Amino acid sequence: MKRFNFFSVTTIDEACGLLSSYGPDAAALAGGTDLLIEFRRPGAKVPKVLVDISRVNELGGISESDGHISIKPLTSHTQLLRSALLQKFAPLLNSAASSIGSPQVRNRGTVGGNIMNAAACADTVPPLIALGATVTLQSKTGSREMSLAELFVKPYQTRANLGELLTAVRFKKLPPDTRSAFIKLGRRNALAISRLSVAAILQTGKDGKIADARIVPGAAFPTWKRVTAAENMLIGEKPTPKLFAAAGQKVSEEMIKETGRRWSTEYKEPVIAVLVRRALEQCLLAQSEQSPSFNPVAMEAGGKGKSPSGSQSLTLNSFSGQECAISTTINGRSRTLTVPANCTLMDLLRDILGLPGTKCGCEVGECGACTVLLDGEAVNSCLVLAPQIHGRRVTTVEGLTLNGKLHPLQESFMDHDAAHCGFCTPGMLMSAKSLLDSNPHPAEREIRTAISGNLCRCTGYQQIVEAIENTSVPGRALRQSGK
C-alpha cells in the first residue's frame, strides 16, 4: 500500500477542518472495507492524507425523535441488523444489513461508507430510498440536507463537495400498518454482492386496498430511484398475485427503457420482475424477511466512535503522521508501538510482532484467514489499519491458549478432525470464539452464519460446525451432534 499521512480525529470539526484544508488530497476513513481494498488495486489513486473518523463519538448511533429515525454514519451493519428500533420501524433495513458481506465485514463496514462509496450494489441504499431518507452533509462552513436519492450522480459519484462529511441519515418511521421487505440476489448466501435487489414497502387500508406502495430496485437502474410507474399500478387496488406479477413486469420494462438492452438484459429482465413480485408478496406476510441471525438488542446509542467496553481506559486524543505512536493491548499484554500508517493490522501482527498464527489469504476481506478479535468482535485484520487499534484490545489465535493449555475450541477442533491443512483454522477459531463469547448456546444455523466469512477448501465445513457445536465451555450443556 502506498504511503499516506494518517490523521485520527475525535470531533466532526477536526475532520471537516482537515478535509477542507487538504481538499482533493484527503479522504475520510470509516470502516475501511471499501477504501483499503481500493488502495490495493494496481494503479489506484491513494490520497496523501487519510482522515480516520472512526473515533468520532458524535457520528455513531441510532435514535428516534419527532416520528423520525436518525442513523449516524458510523453505525455498523451489525448494529443496523441488531437494532430493535429498526426492526420495529424500518425492518427492511435490518434485512438489508444482514445480507451484507460476512460477520467480519458487517462488524467494520458502516452505513455512511456504504452510502458515500455509492457502488451500484450498495445494499443499504434501496431500503433507505424507499424509506424517503434524507442525508446531512457537513463542512467547515456549514451543513445542508438533501434527499438520499438526490445525492447520487452515478455509480461511485455523489453530489458531496470536497470537504463535506456525511453526518446523519434520517427518515420517517413506517406507520404500524405498513409492511416492508428487502430481497437480494447474489451468487451465494454470504460474501456476495447484489446482482439485483429490491426494497419494497406496502401500506394497506382498512378496505384491504393498497394505500401506499414504494419499490426501489438495486443494481438495476443507473442510479437508485422509486419506480413510480409500477407503484401507481398498485395504489387503490386489492393485492393479488396477478397484480404483483404485473408490477414486477412494469419494473422490468422501465429498467430496459432506461438502460437499453445490454449483455445482462437477458438475465435481468425476467429476474427483476420475479424479485419485485416476491418482495411485494413478502410485504403481505406479518413479518418482513428477517436476518437468520437476527437478534435485536438494545444497542442504539453509540457507534464506532463509542469507547468500546473492555478497551484500555485511554484518552483517545487525535494523532497523525506517516508513522503513528499507538498504545494497544494484544493478547492481554499492553504495548506501546510506533507503526507505519499504511501497515495493516495483519502485517503488524505477522511481520512486526512475530505472531504468524493470523494467516494472510486474499487481503480483500473474502477468505477470513486473517480474522482476529478487535474489542471482542471478529474483524478481517487485512482491512484494519494498524493505527486504528490505538486504545483497543486485539486477540489473535495465539491469545487463545492460557498458561500453555489449549482453548476448549482448539481441543474440540482436534477431537472432531476439524482441521486438515489448517490454513483456515486460526480464522475459524476466532470467528467461533467471538460467537461463543456472546452466545454460548448457538443453533447450527447461527454457527454457520458466524463462520460464513471464513472459507475452508478442505473440510466441507461439517466437522468445523460440529466442533463448535460440541465445544465444552464452562457452564454449557453439550448438544448431540449426530457424530
Ligand X SMILES: Cc1cc2nc3c(=O)[nH]c(=O)nc-3n(C[C@H](O)[C@H](O)[C@H](O)COP(=O)(O)OP(=O)(O)OC[C@H]3O[C@@H](n4cnc5c(N)ncnc54)[C@H](O)[C@@H]3O)c2cc1C
**Cell (9 digits) for 388:** 486504528
Interface residue with ligand FES among 123, 363, 377, 469 (CB under 6 A) is: 363
Residue nearest to ligand X (CB): 113
Give min distance, CB of 285 to ligand X, in A.
24
- Work out what residue 116 binds among ligand X, ligand FES, none; the CB cut-off runs from 5 to 8 Å by kind: ligand X
254 forms part of the interface with ligand X (CB under 6 A)? no
Yes or no: say if 464 and 456 are a contact pair by the CB < 8 Å rule. Answer: yes
Interface residue with ligand FES among 421, 444, 462, 472 (CB under 6 A) is: 421
Yes or no: say if 147 and 133 are a contact pair by the CB < 8 Å rule. Answer: yes
Distance, CA of 380 to CA of 372 (rounded, Å): 7
52 forms part of the interface with ligand FES (CB under 6 A)? no
- Work out what residue 103 binds among ligand FES, ligand X, none; the CB cut-off runs from 5 to 8 Å by kind: none
CB-wise, 116 or 367, nearer to ligand FES?
A: 367
- Which residues ranging from 23 to 62 are in contact with ligand X (CB under 6 A)? 27-35, 37
Stretch that binds ligand X, among 107-115, 229-237, 255-263, 414-422 (CB under 6 A): 107-115
Give min distance, CB of 115 to ligand FES, in A.
23
CB-wise, 266 or 417, nearer to ligand FES?
A: 417
CB-wise, 12 or 256, nearer to ligand X?
A: 12
Distance, CA of 389 to CA of 330 (rounded, Å): 10
Yes or no: say if 383 and 110 are a contact pair by the CB < 8 Å rule. Answer: no
Q: Is 113 left (phi over 0), alpha (psi -120 to 50) or beta?
A: alpha
122 forms part of the interface with ligand X (CB under 6 A)? yes
Stretch that binds ligand X, among 81-89, 113-121, 263-271, 421-429 (CB under 6 A): 113-121
Q: Which among 278, 391, 370, 379 is positioned nearest to 325, based on CA atoms?
A: 391
- Work out what residue 397 binds among ligand X, ligand FES, none; the CB cut-off runs from 5 to 8 Å by kind: none
362 forms part of the interface with ligand FES (CB under 6 A)? yes
Q: What DSSP string runs through 191-257?
A: S---SEEEEEEEEE-TTSSEEEEEEEEESSSSS----HHHHHHHTTS---HHHHHHHHHHHHHHHHH
Stretch that binds ligand X, among 61-69, 116-124, 392-400, 407-415 (CB under 6 A): 116-124
Yes or no: say if 123 and 111 are a contact pair by the CB < 8 Å rule. Answer: no
Give min distance, CB of 286 to ligand FES, in A.
38
Q: How many CB atoms lie within 10 A of CB 457?
A: 10
- Work out what residue 257 binds among ligand X, ligand FES, none; the CB cut-off runs from 5 to 8 Å by kind: none
- Work out what residue 30 binds among ligand FES, ligand X, none; the CB cut-off runs from 5 to 8 Å by kind: ligand X
Burial 309-348 (b: 16+ CB within 10 A, else e): eebeeeebeebbeeebebebbbbeeeeebebbbbbbbbbb
Interface residue with ligand FES among 216, 369, 378, 379 (CB under 6 A) is: 369
Q: What DSSP string runs through 78-95?
A: HHHHHBHHHHHH-HHHHH
Binding site for ligand FES (CB under 6 A): 360-363, 365-370, 380, 382, 419-424, 456-459
